[in-house]
Amino acid sequence: CLDNRARLVIQTPDGKSVQLLMGDPSQIALGGGGEQTLSCGPQKQPRRVTVHYNAKLDAKLHTAGVVTAIEFH
pTM attached to this predicted model: 0.84
The pLDDT tens digits of the residues spanning 9-41 come to 999 989 999 999 998 877 889 898 877 888 888
Distance set, CA 64 to CA 10, 26, 38, 53, 73 (Å): 11, 21, 20, 9, 23
The pLDDT tens digits of the residues spanning 46-62 come to 888 999 999 999 999 99
Distance of CA 48 to the CA centre of its chain: 12
Q: How many whole angstroms separate alpha carbon 51 and alpha carbon 67?
A: 7
